[in-house]
Amino acid sequence: MLLHDESPAAVEAREKNFILGTYNRAQFHPRSGKGAQLFDAEGKAYWDLLGGIAVNVLGHKHPRLVKTLKQESDSLLHVSNLFYHPAQGILGERLVRESGLRRAFFCNSGTEANEAALKFARLVNPGRAGIVALEESFHGRTLGSLSMTGHEAYRAPFAPLVPSVTFVPPNDVASLENAVTEETCAIFLESVMGEGGIIPLSDEFLIAARKLADKTGAVLVFDEIQCGLGRTGKLFAFQHTSVVPDIVTLAKPLGGGLPLGAVLTGDVVEGVVKPGHHGTTFGGNPVACRLGIAVLDELKASTLIQRVKTYGDWFGRQLDALKAKVPAIVEIRGKGMMWGIELDRPAGPVVKELLAKGFIVGSARDRVLRLLPPYIVPKKALTEFMDALCRTAALGCPTTQTGEGACPTPNKEKAA
Ligand SMILES: Cc1ncc(COP(=O)(O)O)c(C=O)c1O
């Protein structure tokens, strides 16, 4: 029997009995996809404006990824890290050259990348325990990454966690200056905070973090798991500023949909990580690395990152225009293909209503709609989304009127 033939009811019933209840899944059963669209079990089409939470940057079923996967599946699927295979080195070299850092370590997920970064920082600064992270940050669910995650509700059930983590408010330079001392082992920042509700960190804040790290010897780690690899209109989000971190962590889009994370390390880590200090059975798997190379090839060969910037600027202006007309929208924040729409009410019902209308969006914190569309998303999907958003009953908008003028349709300005 083809798994795709299972009815949604049968899928849900089996999960209810056998899958641990860590997720509140939406009642949505995507079965296939193409480009920026997903199709459910009944064949209904949805614009995917969440991209598997920032993973599917090339959309679904991208020909380059499909071709690579087919070729690689005929080769070795796994060799372990006891032996060599060419793909890790090739992908590592590409990431190092693009970032200006020195070396790469591969793992399987974002949280693992941050765990590794934390361990590497401890090796750079032996005996120093302090970590400075941000309120509302998100670095992952394993114990080290969770300890640096600035959501009390996520951390509380698992206390005691890794000690000596100080949280400071995003973009508050004075608090950062107070928190970073000679005892600080590492500073962990997301250049654009994702789960925290899409909060771009200011250049001033990032520059202050670099200066404090230089002054105290703390290792400056940028978690670019959500905002990296083209999402903000540059390959690395830190490249919007003059700041170069000591370590960058990556995951989400890196493996083209397969699990792959990476830690890129700079000069301060040179020579401190020795065989036996860290490792993973699957990390840097040949197939995932080949897909990683294909993702970078596609980003390079196409003008996608430039498109992210141009369309992102246009979309930001359109969202601002929408905010001026929809009272329930409190603030628009973001960059490139990473946008948060802060509401004056819970985002959950809006997300649900949009899904029923054929738009997949996420939420962050309680009141933020989160958009992380694939970089290939057509302009049509974004304009249709804005039309749908301002006809959403959960936002108190009129839903019965249709056509021009019924809804505060954004400007007719064209994306360049
Ligand atoms: C900024 C950031 N760091 C770390 C993680 C954890 O990544 P993963 O879920 O792959 O462990 C996430 C996931 O959403 C993230 O957005």
pLDDT given at position 5: 77
- CA 109–ligand 1 middle distance (angstroms): 7
Q: In the predicted model, what is the mean pLDDT of residues 76-95?
A: 96
Q: Verify whether ligand 1 is closer than 6 Å to residue 223 (CB atom).
A: yes
pLDDT given at position 6: 87
Given pLDDT bands bounded at 50, 70 and 90, which one contains residue 407?
low
Q: Residue 399: is its pLDDT beyond 70?
A: no
What span, in angstroms and rounded, lies between the C-alpha atoms of 288 and 174? 42
Q: Verify whether ligand 1 is closer than 6 Å to residue 353 (CB atom).
A: no
- CA 168–ligand 1 middle distance (angstroms): 20
From 195, 410, 206, select the one nearest 324 (Cα to Cα): 410
What span, in angstroms and rounded, lies between the C-alpha atoms of 302 and 296? 10
107, 109, 252, best to mutate for ligand 1 pocket (most atoms within 8 Å of CB): 252
- CA 286–ligand 1 middle distance (angstroms): 22
Q: Residue 190: is its pLDDT beyond 90?
A: yes
Given pLDDT bands bounded at 50, 70 and 90, which one contains residue 404?
very low
What span, in angstroms and rounded, lies between the C-alpha atoms of 251 and 57? 12
Q: Residue 180: is its pLDDT beyond 90?
A: yes
* Strand-strand pairing, 338-343 and 359-360: unpaired
- CA 145–ligand 1 middle distance (angstroms): 9
Q: Which residue has the tokens 């090796």?
A: 123
Q: Verify whether ligand 1 is closer than 6 Å to residue 52 (CB atom).
A: no
On average, the pLDDT of the chain sits at 94
Q: Which residue has the tokens 């079990």?
A: 41
Q: What is the pLDDT of residues 217-267, one digit of tens each?
A: 999 999 999 999 999 999 999 999 999 999 999 999 999 999 999 999 999
- CA-to-CA separations, 60 to 33, 39, 109, 110, 121, in angstroms, rounded: 5, 11, 20, 21, 36
Q: In the predicted model, what is the mean pLDDT of residues 52-81?
A: 96
Query: What is the share, in percent, of the chain residues with pLDDT greater than 90?
Result: 91
pTM, full prediction: 0.95
pLDDT given at position 73: 87
Query: What is the share, in percent, of the chain residues with pLDDT greater than 70?
Result: 94
Q: Which of 316 and 74 is assigned the larger pLDDT?
A: 316
Return the CATH class of domain 75-301.
alpha beta
Given pLDDT bands bounded at 50, 70 and 90, which one contains residue 405?
very low
pLDDT given at position 416: 45
Return the CATH class of domain 3-61+303-395.
alpha beta
Q: In the predicted model, what is the mean pLDDT of residues 186-215?
A: 98
Q: Verify whether ligand 1 is closer than 6 Å to residue 194 (CB atom).
A: yes
Q: Is there a contact between 218 and 212 (Cβ–Cβ < 8 Å)?
A: yes
Q: In the predicted model, what is the mean pLDDT of residues 346-353?
A: 97
Residue with CA closest to ligand 1 atom 7: 110
Q: What is the pLDDT of residues 284-320, one digit of tens each?
A: 999 999 999 999 999 998 899 999 999 999 999 999 9
Q: Which of 325 and 313 is assigned the larger pLDDT?
A: 313
Q: What is the pLDDT of residues 104-124, one digit of tens each?
A: 999 999 999 999 999 999 999
Q: In the predicted model, what is the mean pLDDT of residues 359-372?
A: 97
Q: Verify whether ligand 1 is closer than 6 Å to residue 225 (CB atom).
A: yes
Domain ranges of the chain: 3-61+303-395, 75-301
Q: Verify whether ligand 1 is closer than 6 Å to residue 373 (CB atom).
A: no
